[in-house]
């Protein structure tokens, strides 16, 4: 935790300017836009598991930037958040792009429509973008299908890889009330090559028309490949024999969206699907597969799945985050879904595989690259549950602590309560249970949230990011945390930031909301790591 030259700045130097072009603490319209693109709100509060409700009412900063003639700058930010994977969810970026494409200023509109193919990475995104445009036009006499939108949609289809597009249109046929048939027809898309023309005809006219049109036609190698794939997708729709369906799934790597509902009543069909199903999708349905005896104790399918779950190559390919694996593990261990009546008896081998995967997935976490203090408040009991999960706040605090301590070498862990503050050692060989036990050793009682900042300042510890994990719904401090943070910044000449994570409470709203180095989270989920990382690196 010793100060490093690369992180120290001179407050009077040019380093005191940042990406927003102003003071490093200033919450200007650019900062608010970046917050909106990251987690759908301009406020300094991130609400875990909150559904997307993007609207012009909560995108005031974007509207201000557009009115100031900074629309192209806003589009560049939209592209960056979409491209770099720095957004919790895609909805806000798609809404912002739709809003920019509606704006009257020509350069902004042109930039927005040109960005459609980059921001809309799959059909689901494209459908959402079109729906946002429709909602923004409600109450206006003009429609949305002008020349610019027609060209943007046409370009989106024409610039896709033909085989990938064939798979996409057969898996994601419609969303938000829109279908590929709607978009291709309304955009007047003119395919630029024969393979795209084939897919366009399939989406708009159907398989029978494709068969007639290509029966005696000379075909390129690419057209033959796409045609063969579409033929398989159509063939499986008319197959009732379980063995035939399984053969088609395994030979052509078909996915469940391409099958009929009746096919999904078969255990053997599900076993075939699980072999190639993305790991994140597998983890979501483990309980269902166990309850329906698709995964039976000791079976070859269960052993194969266990090997895959804990395989380092598979975990890396899926970019599995340890917190995501922990959520899946605790949910499976629970033996019951959050909705409905589905119940299951957790399989011991699957639990062991998921536990091993939790530790192996630490290798997938990219370091924040900052000097960090993670301070765990044990002033109240950590026995409650993080909303929307099966994880106790004690286990959540331990997991969060481990993730930062293992991936960022300049991380100091502290535990504090009424009895004071105690440095805590979290080594790489400690298990989650051991870390949890270590954190709750300190007696509880009323506490002061400023203690970690005061400790760092008094002990000459230069800290870039303070993360306070608490279960307390009430602020307790003698001096404002904002004032303490400012004193720390002034002493070390750095842009220190503070994140208050209310693991089970409704969160804590800072009194000084004009300081961009402050952030609160309500609850905790995988997106919280994304938000914290963005704050630490000055992206929001």
| Closest of 130, 75, 133 to residue 107, by C-alpha | 75
User: What percentage of the chain reaches a pLDDT higher than 90?
Assistant: 73
Q: Report pLDDT for 153.
A: 98
Lowest mean pLDDT among 35-49, 126-140, 146-160, 511-525: 511-525
Report the alpha-carbon distance of residue 26 to residue 17 in Å, rounded: 10
Query: In the prediction, which pLDDT does 434 show?
Result: 94
Residue 90 near residue 76, CB atoms below 8 Å: no
Q: Give the mean model confidence (pLDDT) for residues 297-315.
A: 96
Model pLDDT for residues 189-211, shown as the tens digit of each residue = 999 999 999 999 999 999 999 99
Instruction: Tell whether the model's pLDDT for residue 14 goes beyond 80.
Output: no
Higher pLDDT residue, 251 or 449? 251
Spatial CA neighbour of 274 closest among 293, 248, 256: 256
* Topology (CATH level 3) of domain 366-537: Rossmann fold (3.40.50)
What percent of the chain clears pLDDT 70, i.e. is strictly above it? 90
- At 449 the pLDDT is 83
Of 523, 537, 522, 530, the closest CA to residue 43 belongs to 522
Whether 515 contacts 499, CB under 8 Å: no
pLDDT(477) > 70: no
User: Does residue 3 carry a pLDDT above 80?
Assistant: no
Note the pLDDT tens digit of each residue in 113-160. 999 999 999 999 999 999 999 999 876 666 799 999 999 999 999 999
Say if residues 60 and 103 touch (Cβ distance below 8 Å). no
Long-range Cβ contacts of 10-16 (<8 Å, 24+ apart) = 10/493, 11/490, 11/493
Nearest to 447 by CA among 396, 497, 529, 375: 375
Phi/psi class of residue 335: alpha, beta or left (left: φ > 0; alpha: ψ in -120 to 50)? Answer: left
Helical residues (DSSP H) of 40-86, grouped into ranges: 60-67, 71-83
Give the separation between CA 421 and CA 406, rounded to whole angstroms: 22
pLDDT at 21: 43
Query: How confident is residue 7, by pLDDT bands cut at 50, 70 and 90?
Result: very low
Handedness of CA 297, 300, 302, 304 (dihedral sign): positive
179 SS3 class: strand
pLDDT digits (tens, 9 = 90+) for 382-403: 778 888 888 999 999 999 999 9
Between CA 14 and CA 4 the distance in angstroms is: 19
**Of 24-28, 179-183, 318-322, 331-335, which gets the smallest average pLDDT?**
24-28
pLDDT-based confidence at residue 57 (cuts at 50, 70, 90): confident
Q: Distance between CA atoms of 42 and 61, rounded to whole angstroms?
A: 8
- The 10s digit of each residue's pLDDT in 456-468 is 999 999 999 999 9
CA–CA gap between residue 231 and residue 450 (Å, rounded): 65
For residue 180, give the nearest of 240, 122, 220, 118 by alpha carbon: 122
Report the distance separating Cα 386 and Cα 242, nearest Å. Answer: 42
The strand pair at 411-417 and 372-377 is best described as parallel
Cβ atoms of 65 and 100 within 8 Å: the answer is: no
Alpha carbon distance 425, 438 (integer Å): 8
Q: Where are the alpha helices (DSSP H) in 361-465?
A: 393-407, 432-439, 451-458
Handedness of CA 466, 472, 475, 478 (dihedral sign): negative
Write down the mean pLDDT value for the chain: 89
pLDDT at 435: 94
Averaged over 444-470, what is the pLDDT? 88
The set of residues, in sequence order, having a beta carbon less than 8 Å from that of 402 and lying 6+ positions away, is 322, 362, 426, 430, 432, 435
> From residue 69, how far is each of 62, 64, 95, 278, 535 by CA, in Å?
11, 9, 19, 43, 26
* Residue 77 near residue 28, CB atoms below 8 Å: no
**Cα torsion through 220, 226, 228, 231, rounded to 10:** -130
Q: How far apart are CA 88 and CA 34, in angstroms?
A: 12
């Amino acid at each position: 935790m010793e100060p490093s030259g690369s992180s120290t700045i001179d407050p009077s130097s040019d380093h005191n300017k940042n990406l927003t072009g102003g003071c490093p603490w200033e919450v200007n319209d650019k900062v608010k836009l970046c917050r909106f693109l990251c987690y759908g709100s301009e406020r300094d509060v991130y609400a875990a598991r909150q559904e997307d409700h993007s609207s012009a009412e909560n995108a005031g900063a974007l509207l201000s930037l557009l009115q100031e003639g900074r629309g192209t700058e806003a589009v560049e930010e939209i592209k960056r958040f979409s491209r770099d994977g720095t957004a919790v969810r895609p909805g806000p970026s798609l809404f912002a792009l739709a809003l920019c494409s509606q704006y009257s200023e020509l350069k902004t509109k042109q930039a927005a429509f040109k960005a459609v193919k980059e921001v809309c990475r799959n059909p689901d995104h494209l459908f959402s973008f079109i729906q946002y445009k429709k909602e923004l036009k409600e109450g206006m006499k003009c429609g949305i299908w002008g020349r610019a939108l027609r060209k943007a949609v046409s370009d989106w289809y024409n610039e896709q890889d033909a085989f990938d597009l064939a798979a996409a249109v057969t898996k994601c046929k419609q969303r938000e009330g829109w279908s590929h048939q709607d978009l291709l027809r309304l955009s007047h898309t003119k395919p630029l090559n024969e393979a795209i023309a084939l897919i366009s005809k399939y989406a708009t006219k159907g398989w029978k028309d494709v068969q007639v049109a290509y029966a005696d036609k000379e075909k390129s190698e690419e057209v033959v490949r796409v045609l063969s794939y579409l033929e398989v997708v159509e063939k499986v729709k008319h197959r009732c024999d379980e063995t035939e369906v399984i053969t088609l799934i395994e030979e052509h790597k078909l996915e469940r969206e391409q099958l009929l509902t009746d096919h999904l009543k078969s255990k053997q069909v599900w076993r075939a699907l699980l072999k190639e199903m993305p790991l994140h999708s597998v983890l979501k349905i483990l309980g269902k597969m166990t309850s329906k005896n698709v995964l039976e104790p000791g079976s070859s399918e269960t052993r194969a799945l266990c090997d895959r779950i804990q395989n380092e190559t598979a975990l890396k390919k899926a970019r599995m985050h340890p917190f995501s694996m922990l959520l899946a593990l605790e949910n499976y261990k629970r033996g019951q879904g959050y909705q409905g009546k589905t119940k299951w008896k957790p399989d011991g081998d699957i639990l062991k595989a998921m536990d091993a995967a939790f530790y192996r997935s630490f290798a997938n976490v990219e370091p924040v690259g900052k000097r960090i203090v993670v301070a765990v408040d044990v002033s109240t009991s950590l026995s409650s549950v993080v909303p929307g999960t099966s994880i106790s706040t004690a286990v959540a605090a331990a997991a969060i602590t481990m993730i930062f301590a293992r991936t960022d070498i300049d991380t100091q862990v502290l535990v504090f309560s009424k009895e004071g503050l105690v440095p805590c050692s979290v080594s790489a060989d400690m298990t989650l249970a051991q870390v949890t036990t270590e954190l709750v050793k300190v007696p509880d009682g009323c506490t002061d949230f400023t203690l970690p900042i005061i400790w760092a300042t008094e002990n000459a510890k230069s800290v870039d990011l303070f993360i306070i994990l608490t279960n307390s719904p009430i602020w307790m401090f003698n001096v404002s945390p904002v004032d303490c943070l400012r004193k720390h910044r002034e002493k070390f000449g750095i842009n220190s930031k503070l994140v208050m994570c209310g693991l089970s409470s409704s969160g804590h709203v800072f009194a000084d909301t004009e300081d961009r180095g402050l952030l609160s989270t309500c609850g905790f989920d995988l997106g919280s790591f994304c938000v914290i990382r963005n704050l630490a690196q000055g992206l929001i």
